[in-house]
Amino acid sequence: MYGIDRKRAIRIVAASLTSGTYNGRGSDHSAFSPYRTEPAALQAYEMSGIGPEDIDLVQVHDAATIGELQQIEA
């Protein structure tokens, strides 16, 4: 179908979204803090039924434009 080699296809087994608020006062809950990333990872592991030892690649994306720029500069 559409020239896709299904044997080589990458399977997505879970996706998770977390967010928080920013108070502008140097909160520990920044984009680089485990307060946001750890819950997302734990949710994805539970949804998928696998753990970190089973994963070859993780695609992480921050949908907020300023977050992307901060991560590029970090």
Q: How far apart are CA 31 and CA 19, in angstroms?
A: 9
Amino acid at 34: P
- Taking the whole predicted model, whether its pTM rises above 0.75 is answered as no
Full residue range of the structural domain in which residue 7 is found: 1-20+28-74
Give the per-residue pLDDT at 19: 72
Q: What is the pLDDT along the chain (74 residues), one digit of tens a residue?
A: 577 788 888 778 888 887 766 555 555 555 556 667 788 889 989 999 999 899 887 777 666 667 666 766 66
Q: How far apart are CA 37 and CA 42, in angstroms?
A: 9
Number of domains forming the structure of the chain:
1
